[in-house]
Structure 1
Amino acid sequence: MATAETRQAPNGFNLVPPPGWDVIPLRIDTKEATDRIVRKAVAQLPLGFPKDDIPKARLKLEQELKKVARRARAKGGMTLYLPTERFHGVALPVSMVASEPIEIPRVRPNSGPEAVLAALASITPGAEVRELDDTAALRSSRDVPADATQGIDIPHRRVEYFVPIPDSDPDRYLAFSFSALIAPGSDPAFYDTLVELFDAVMSTFRWAYT
């Protein structure tokens, strides 16, 4: 049986996105992934869509994907998850980003990640501790208002998971952030359902060791 001295930190993770979602790596092969999504979207245009409008639609989608990927990468994102197919005829205004590992000093010598999570929970509104693949993780949820000074054009619901990487030295953490754009006058129950979808995705989280 492995001991604390012989255990190794995981070298990755696995998630199961919902059907109709695509994954865009943000450090390598980003263009290949966005090109694939654009080709699939163009192939799924409805019958009767004007052929002369296809180049314009393709360009608009390419520009939008580049903008979303660029913003996610600028915030430390390493993987972007997006719905690229409609859900019951509705285009979901959501995205999910997995960020690169970050290092955080321990609260006290030999205190471990649990103390860090507890400290963060005490100062983070809407925070609670959950478990992902036998690892304690911090989950928080809040509504973010539009703020042009912060580059936030549209208000959105944000849910985040903060997960310590087991047996990492120094202690490192992953962050998973979900955003759902809030349209004026929309039903809050709709966004509650989208958050439940994200929580369901996070329940599939598993550490990878190969």
Structure 2
Amino acid sequence: MAEPTSAPTGYRLVLPSDWVQIPLRTGEAEQVARDIVTEAFARVPADVPRDKLTPLRLELERRLLAAVADARRAEALELYLPMRLSGEVNLGASIIVSETRLPTRSDESGTTGAISDPAEVAAQLMSRDGGSNIDLSSGEVDGALAVRRERVVPAAPDRGVEMDSRRVDYFVSVPGDPGRWFVAAFSTIGAGSPRDDLADALVEWFDALMTTFRWSWK
């Protein structure tokens, strides 16, 4: 297959219908989050007392807006969250999409270039995180070089992170734009432990989801 002459303008993922996307590249993310809450509670049966729904709705909106704020601080492009049919958002899992550029390196002649070898990319990722308790592998996603990183991130109560989490990141090189990488970062606390059966199942699900990833040029 011929190498693309221009970088893709987007991507596609085949997500289940109970996951919602919140775009972060515009100033409308907060309104999208509020619309998600409104739509969710519109499906609640009319015989449910309103005085019971109001505190739930306010808490749901608070949690969604907090997730949006966290993703914005990480300079993410999109945030994906699972929405249960009952209208409750399960913030025990999330996907954050962003972009990054890995450092360049110089050869003996002084010429600089983007790091593109999987081993060098893996080495960069290892050096960023200290190399402990990290599972790294390389391969391809929709024909592009990809590095998969999996690790357990300890709780950080001082930053509002109360529980350990299981993280799986896919770093995918952007065709036609050396040095630019697409990042899909999945996080889950499982059923309370990042190594429990639910966390294992969700990680397998995310790996399967990434097989549906496709670049788009339009």
Give the TM-score taking structure 2 as reference length: 0.82
1:84 and 1:183 map into 2 onto residues whose CA distance is 16
Contact 1:12–1:207 at 8 Å: present in 2 too? yes
User: Which residue matches 1:113?
Assistant: 116
1:136 and 1:206 map into 2 onto residues whose CA distance is 13
Contact 2:60–2:89 at 8 Å: present in 1 too? no
Q: Please tell me the root mean square deviation across aligned C-alpha atoms, in Å.
A: 2.8
The 5 A counterparts of 1:140-155 are 140-155=149-164
Contact 1:155–1:182 at 8 Å: present in 2 too? no
2:175 is paired with a residue of what secondary structure?
A: coil
Amino acid at match of 1:114: D
- Unaligned ranges ≥5, structure 2: 107-111
1:103 and 1:151 map into 2 onto residues whose CA distance is 28
Aligned-residue sequence identity (percent) comes to 34
More displaced stretch, 177-186 vs 156-165: 177-186
1:18 is paired with a residue of what secondary structure?
A: coil
User: Which residue matches 2:38?
Assistant: 39
More displaced stretch, 176-185 vs 153-162: 176-185
The 5 A counterparts of 1:17-96 are 17-28=15-26, 29-45=28-44, 48-86=47-85, 91=90, 93-96=92-95
Amino acid at match of 2:189: L
Structure 1 pair 74–12 and aligned structure 2 pair: CA distance change class (3 A): same
- Paired residues in the alignment total 205
Amino acid at match of 2:181: Y
Amino acid at match of 1:45: V
Show CA shifts across 1:41-92 (max 9, x none): 21233565322122222211111100001001101211000111259x9957
User: Which residue matches 1:12?
Assistant: 10
1:58 and 1:151 map into 2 onto residues whose CA distance is 21
Cα shift at 1:174: 1.5
Which of residues 210, 214, 217 in structure 2 aligns to 1:209? 217
Cα shift at 1:193: 0.5
Show CA shifts across 1:19-55 (max 9, x none): 2100001122213321221022212335653221222
Amino acid at match of 1:85: R
